[in-house]
Amino acid sequence: MRPANFILVLACLSTAFSALAAPPYTGPLFDAHLHYNDDAVGRYSIGTLHELFSKNGVRAILANSRPNDGTRALVEAAKAGARKDLAVVPFIRVYRDRADYGTWQRNPEILAMIVAEEKRGYYRGVGEFHVHGKDADTKVLKDIVDFAVAKGLVLHAHSDDEAIEIIFRHNPKASVIWAHTGFTTPLARVEEMLAKYPRLWGELSYRSDVAEGGALSEGWRALFLRHPDRFVVGSDTWVNERWDSYPSIMGGYRRWLGELPREVAESIAWKNGARIFGLP
């Protein structure tokens, strides 16, 4: 084996052993990307979900559902004191059904639905919604962004970086949780976006490059250390298979969070979400 290759192997082994040696993060989790959709409601009761959250150390959830009935059910259970150690942060979903996915940002009925739903008085945000590229440049979406800013609501955008730029162009005062942190957006571009928009936070579900080979990647580690207050974790239970995998998903976060300094891990796991929404 050539010396250069040998050194590379040693470096990889060192990283892997460090990951194995680090105990997982054991503190509370804020699940900042959770859906209780219509196909999940009939399969998982509220009680089942509460048990799942308890077993996995989840103390807060950002709930948004298709339609909004699932989120309302979680809110009503919280009001009834079903589980006092769980905070429900409800968001208004922009989809009444699957037919809205491709048209919502051009449909004035969606804005009217959001305005009516907000009158319930307990919502903290709008989304998750899917929009990419120049499809974000519509009057309806601008009106939704302006409404969110006026009401102090956070937006949850499943978008590429171009659409995020347009959202902030619609209203620079917007607050945005970036679902999946763009999925595959390069880290340099992620950091550029964070620097440009102080009220943008990256949510980390489906960013498989965060932990490669079971160990936290060096690029993400460096980004977390430079911006510990700009990321949150989430399960994204958009299909029932994600609910079935919930312990594995949250356990995966705990493993790589354990490789970070405690203060940084606590921020990403809990404190950032709690701070955004004013939780104790």
Say which CATH number the domain at 150 has.
Answer: 3.20.20.140
* pLDDT tens sequence across 17-71: 455 579 999 999 999 999 999 999 999 999 999 999 999 999 999 999 999 999 9
Residue 9 in this model has a pLDDT that exceeds 60: no
Q: How many domains are contained in the chain?
A: 1
Residue 4 lies in a domain: no
* pLDDT tens sequence across 103-134: 999 999 999 999 999 999 999 999 999 999 99
> CA–CA distance from 242 to each of 2, 56, 95, 117, 249 (Å)?
44, 14, 20, 27, 8
Residue 171 lies in a domain: yes
Residue 182 lies in a domain: yes
Residue 2 lies in a domain: no
Segments forming the whole domain that contains residue 207:
25-277
Residue 75 lies in a domain: yes
pLDDT at 11: 42
Residue 9 lies in a domain: no
Percentage above 70 pLDDT, the chain: 93
- As given in the structure block, the two tokens for residue 77 are 């259970």
Q: What is the pTM of this model?
A: 0.92
| DSSP single-letter state for residue 207 | -
Residue 5 in this model has a pLDDT that exceeds 90: no
Residue 15 lies in a domain: no
Which of 25, 78, 85, 26 is closest to 53 using CA atoms?
85
Residue 190 lies in a domain: yes
Residue 100 in this model has a pLDDT that exceeds 60: yes
Which of 138, 116, 137 is closest to 126 using CA atoms?
116
